[in-house]
Amino acid sequence: MSELKNDRFLRALQRQPVDRTPVWMMRQAGRYLPEYRATRKQAGSFLDLCKNAELACEVTMQPLRRYPMDAAILFSDILTVPDALGLGLYFEEGEGPRFRKTVRSEEDLAGLNSFTADDDLAYVMNAVRTIRAELNGKVPLIGFSGSPWTLATYMVEGGSSKDFANVKGMAYDKPALMHGLLSLLADAVADYLAAQIRAGAQAVQIFDTWGGSLSAAGYREFSLAYMQRIITRLQGQPETRDVPVIVFTKGGGQWLTSIADCGAQGVGIDWTTDIALARAEVGDRVALQGNMDPSMLFASPARIREEVASILAGFGHGSGHIFNLGHGITPGVNPDHVTAFVDAVQELSPQYHLGD
């Protein structure tokens, strides 16, 4: 494969010197871009778009044509693993992802399909290979998965939830059943991320979207422990051990010290956490990724630039910061405001790397 022309993202993730702070955005390929909406219409549905390697590659490349991002991220969905386990993923208009089956009993757990990522999610690996070839070394490619806890929330609830009553009820009332499900998912996710790495992913991110819904003790037991298990598995295999891992728990700022000890090279923080306090707390143990409020992109370009300046100053001098939003970009954002965001990071960050 082609030599990497821009390794700024990977260097920052390893806390090595860089000339400026690298930047990419969660959901950077998405509905805010008119070209994405056109490609999705061409595909017929979101899932058809994910399963077509050429179209998944096209939408992955679209933001890179508009903006000088320092990384590409695989276009896929976090719920591919539960779908492959046999739960029947579909999307309800205005309702988000749904499953035709749920896991709420020992019988449901025992009835899940056996899983091998290379076979059962071959379409994802085809997309990874296609994107790597198209990138031609321009920037690194990030692979990803949902965390075991986040996948479990959808599998038990059957879709999105406001109160997580079923999944948290299971965790607290039937912990053995919940640990059985989470163990199965941790092994499946480790297999899935390893397969993405073999196919060409140069870093991987674990999206723990719903970890922040748990209590402190619940988070350590039901979410963090299983992400740590995945990282340990990846670091124990020669073909995957050198590929950096980012862990992102939305709403997890109060557990930063514990997250920084999980073995990941990078920790994503959402916009509710002050990046200066986060850096003071974790020191140089991990790189920090984040953390502008996605809604700031609805503000004027001048205000966006002020916010970028504030976050850069908060992190301060030196490497180990990857600029990102504190969550995924929202669909209604003006693409020109993303230009202002990326330009501000590029123009304002070099002063924090002088002498590196």
27 annotated as belonging to a binding site for a ligand: yes
Distance, in Å, from the CA atom of 352 to the CA atom of 18, rounded to the nearest integer, reads: 10
User: Coil, strand, or helix at residue 7?
Assistant: coil
Q: Which residues have a catalytic role annotated?
A: 27, 31, 40, 77, 154
100 annotated as belonging to a binding site for a ligand: no
Residue found under tokens 């809604």: 295
192 annotated as belonging to a binding site for a ligand: no
Specify the DSSP element, H or E, that contains 82. helix 80-82
Return the amino acid letter for 36. Y
Phi, psi of 266 (to 5 degrees): -130, 145
Q: Counting Cβ atoms within 10 Å, is residue 198 exposed (0-12), middle (13-18) or buried (19+)?
A: middle
∠ CA 283-355-310 to the nearest 5 degrees? 55
Give the ranges where 174-254 is alpha helix by DSSP (H). Answer: 175-199, 216-219, 225-235
31 annotated as belonging to a binding site for a ligand: yes
Q: Are 208 and 149 in contact (CB under 8 A)?
A: yes
Q: Write the CB contacts of 116 (distance below 8 Å, at least 6 apart in sequence).
A: 191
191 annotated as belonging to a binding site for a ligand: no
Distance, in Å, from the CA atom of 345 to the CA atom of 69, rounded to the nearest integer, reads: 10
80 annotated as belonging to a binding site for a ligand: no
Instruction: Report which of 301, 299, 278 is spatially closest to residue 289, judged by C-alpha positions.
Output: 278
Q: Pull the structure tokens for residue 7.
A: 């390794």
As a whole number of Å, the end-to-end CA separation of the chain is: 29
30 annotated as belonging to a binding site for a ligand: yes
Q: Which residues are annotated as a binding site?
A: 27-31, 77, 154, 209, 327
Q: Which residues are annotated as a binding site for substrate?
A: 27-31, 77, 154, 209, 327
